A and B are shown apart, each in its own frame.
Chain A
Amino acid sequence: MGVTIQVEGLTKRFGSMTAVDAIDFAMEEHEFFSLVGPSGCGKTTTLRCVAGLETADEGRISIKGTTVYASAEQVDVPTHERAIGMVFQNYAVWPHMSVFHNVAYPLKLKRASRGDQERRVGHVLQMLGMELLGERKPSQLSGGQQQRVALGRALVGEPDVLLLDEPLSNLDAKLREHMRVELKRIQRDTGIPILYVTHDQLEALAMSDRIAVMSDGRIHQVASPVEIYERPATKFVLDFIGSVNYLPGEVQSATGDTVTLRVAGGATLTLPRPGFVPEAREVLLAVRPEDMVLGQSVTGSDLQAKVELRSFLGNLCEYRLSYQGHELRVQTEKDELVPEGSDVVVGVRRGYLLESTASQDPLARVS
């Protein structure tokens, strides 16, 4: 197993603003690796530094063992000499070239023979289901088709790594879902490593082998989707990936398996013991909406709440409950509809703990 991309201490500043702040990560061979975070977190800047479209200020980047950027040795390989393929958010399909010529362009630059070009472009277009559209001009294509042209153009030269910058964000919801699956399939079939940038946490969870969650130019956590969701490292990751309810409380006791809390409003909850229990007694309990059950008691972990609002989501039902002045968001299966205005018992199955003094700190550790 080799390393596809190795980034060490990468720093990029725009004027006085530090867009990327000394980040490190390493991408494995054949890996689908996502950088995810809100806009302005530095994920796109990181990707553009890897592509060489931005010149970093400090650090080192290597692709397949070749150093393409190193501030210490003053190495900066220009973009066109890096073995990459890239898909841009707005596709960037050249309007004055046909589909065929767009896709064939990287081969043309490598002086591939005409026959070779036709064979390889044909192969890529077939893989993308575009084999009949080669002569079309981009203006005659739908957004989804342009997206495929851009993808084909990035793939055709068999680069060491594919860089994707929010490629699905301009597509409508249905098409986005379809392309998500297709991208994953193409990645599996070709084995090409993908560095993927998105602000959409669902997209990242669905497609990636590993995810790096970024905010304010820093990486909070690098882990598999399941681990990111189940064991968020910081409060920011907890908030950004999925949604969460917060209840202040204090730790009453902790055993090897459980922790007992007295939360605001007077209820006592006994929950499975998380990874660690904060030392301070004052804590913040964080519970995912799907970790609560409505109208069902969970032994020793019940809250009495009132249904304020019910939203039917199709496969799920989401409730806004009021509990002693706190709003709780709960998701349940749709077959247990509870009417608005009724009093219900809410069972809490599990939760995360944070020190309550750290409630405003995105870097606060989550148990």
Chain B
Amino acid sequence: MTALRRLDSRLVFFVLIAAFVLVIVVYPLVQVLLRSLLVDGNWSLRNYESVFGRPRNYFALWNSVWVSLAATALATVIGTLAAFVVQRTDVPFKTVLRFVLILPFAIPPLFAAMGWVQLAGPVGLLTQAWKSLTGAATAPWTIYGAGGIIFVLGITKYPFVFITVAGALQRMDASLEEAARTAGAGTGRIMRDITLPLVRPAILGGALLAFVSCIDNFGIPAVLGLRVQFQVLTTRIYEALTIPDLPLATAMSMLLVVLAGVAVWLLGKFEGRSGEHAIIGGKSIRPHIIKLRAARPWVALALFALTILIVVLPVFALLVTAIQPYYGAPLNLETITTRNFEAVLNSSAAQRGIRNSLTLAPIAATILVIVTALLAYLNVKAKVRGAKLLDGIGMMPFALPGSVIGVGMILAWSNPPIGPTLYGTLWILLVAYLMRYMAYGLRSCRASLMQIHDSLEEAASTSGASRLRTMRDITLPLMRPGMIAAWVLIFMSAYHELTVSALIWSARNETVGVWIFVMQDSGFPGRASALAIAILPIILVMFMITQWLSADRSAI
């Protein structure tokens, strides 16, 4: 009798969550797939033919691939080197370095792209400095086009590689290296024969994450590519939707899905293989640390210089642009003005954008944390059949490029068979964020639940606590840090979201990310920068909280 009732409440939750996942994730995805194959109600490959029939379109596909690969290569080199130096040498200020090296995650890619235009663009700060130093008429570089996109993508996406490689190096059993040392291998030899092969899966895994994030990105190629007609898939989809050519955008979305799918499939293979190496030992033995000797301060300086270049300079450029009377004005104290801030903060669109983002982000974060915590519980603890599958489906948007989610939202909610037409309202953005960030919640909640050993709950039950009581007194309090981390991460990401929002926003339903992009795109870099600078503090604070929470949790 009690067993029956117990089963029922779980079943009710399961059905509700299954419905949520179906509506939020599966329905839009099916729409994209089906509509890409439908022309006037008939099965056809014509949409795909139009992609490959016009150079503009297949060049965009090709550009997405090679630009992302090149940026990934750059990110992998930076990330791997930085991880080795921080984990395996006696470089000073390690704790600070570890933090600043992942700061690029905190800077929205759009901001980084804007910052780099203002640094290295035709009238950028570095360009002007170069001209006045050398007397040359132009700088020997251009930030617009493939080179600039690769550069900015690479230096904003390397933390993916840095985090995975540093993690693998930290978990690596030091005795594996010591065994090689006792066998007579020197430091260089050990790195080549033992360490590098052991962390190779981590390097490849981090690189694939960076690759998926590169092909997903819209802000950077939009700011650095559109002006010189250098198109990638995400910007081409954006253009196709402004025409609007929905079938074309849909077919191109499917190509993005294929690209991301291949990367994720490879990722799964590498992650599976990394299990072969038992590099994760329970004991924390200090691995061998390479002494840098005389190079010690210089290596530290180089890493700090790198992060200043990557994080501080672009933000500084944004700030300079924001307080200048016009873009490219000579730098001096007399011309400092708050005009841009006043103009943008007094505009009703920007105010609406801030208000909308500050409404959508916490709602999305709250809904997702509740739903994903329940789903993770059904999957990990209650082991309800089918919950694992739901979890897998919920994780899919993690690999889905934002443009695909955007196109899916338009198809799904423009004229749905049942339910309201969300397209043209603020709520389509909410539904889009729910889809895009579901994986963030699932990952965090699943991880924190798996850390809770079954015996902790069983001990409550043998102490006389009912299932509900156990959840309240034991499971929920122990899950809380993971849930808070997920909430902050979702809030932060949704707050400055651009890739999806740029495709589905409508007049009066702006978000702050969209409005910064619109300002930048329509020739008001000063106002765009002012708005970016205005919202950056809240993003940085959120980022610090996520870092603090994850450090706190690993300490337990």
Contact = CB atoms under 8 A, between A and B. Distances in A.
Contacts of B469: 80, 109
B2 interface: yes
B347 interface: no
A84 B460 CA distance: 12
Interface stretch (A92-100, A282-290, A304-312, A326-334): A92-100
Given A96-B477, A96-B478, A105-B473, A153 B465 contact: no
Contact of B455 (A84, A92, A106): A92
A325 B469 CA distance: 65
B458 interface: yes
B465 A88 contact: no
A57 B245 CA distance: 62
Interface in B1-17: 2-3
Interface in B450-465: 453, 455-456, 458-465
B463 A90 contact: no
Interface residues of A, number: 30
Contacts of B455: 88-90, 92
B459 A86 contact: yes
A97 B462 CA distance: 17
B137 interface: no
A109 B478 contact: no
Interface in A70-95: 76, 78-82, 84-86, 88-90, 92-95
A109 B456 contact: no
Contacts of A109: 463-465, 469
Contacts of A89: 455
B478 A95 contact: yes
B556 A53 contact: no
Contact of B465 (A76, A80, A82, A150): A80
A348 interface: no
Contact of B459 (A81, A88, A96): A88
Interface in A109-132: 109-110
A154 B462 contact: yes
Nearest to B461: A79
Given A96-B478, A150-B459, A90 B465 contact: no
B284 interface: no
B459 A110 contact: no
Q: What class of interface size applies to chain B in its complex with A?
A: 20 to 34
A110 B465 CA distance: 9
Nearest to B6: A78
Interface in A206-230: none
A363 to B, nearest CB: 33
Interface in B428-465: 453, 455-456, 458-465
A110 B2 CA distance: 20
B312 interface: no
Given A78-B2, A88-B458, A94 B464 contact: no
A309 to B, nearest CB: 28
B461 A53 contact: yes
Given A78-B2, A80-B465, A90-B453, A105 B460 contact: yes
A63 interface: no
A153 B556 contact: no
B85 interface: no
A169 to B, nearest CB: 14
A43 to B, nearest CB: 16
A163 B462 contact: yes
A139 interface: yes
A37 interface: no
A80 B459 contact: no
Considering residues A52, A80, A110, A153, which has the most beta carbons from chain B within 10 angstroms of its beta carbon? A80
Contacts of A81: 464
A51 interface: yes
A230 to B, nearest CB: 36
B466 interface: yes
A232 interface: no
A84 B462 contact: yes
B462 A85 contact: yes
B474 interface: yes
A90 B459 CA distance: 11
Contact of B466 (A80, A85, A88, A90): A80
B7 to A, nearest CB: 12
Interface of B: 2-3, 453, 455-456, 458-467, 469, 473-474, 477-478, 556
What are the 7 A-B residue pairs with the smallest beta carbon separation, nearest first? Answer: A92-B455, A86-B462, A92-B459, A106-B463, A88-B455, A79-B461, A109-B464
18 contacts: A52-B461, A53-B458, A79-B461, A80-B461, A80-B464, A81-B464, A85-B463, A86-B458, A90-B455, A92-B459, A93-B459, A94-B478, A105-B460, A105-B463, A153-B463, A154-B462, A154-B463, A163-B462
Given A53-B458, A80-B463, A92-B453, 19 more contacts: A51-B462, A52-B461, A78-B466, A79-B458, A80-B464, A80-B466, A80-B467, A86-B459, A89-B455, A92-B458, A94-B459, A96-B478, A105-B465, A106-B464, A109-B464, A109-B469, A150-B459, A153-B463, A154-B462
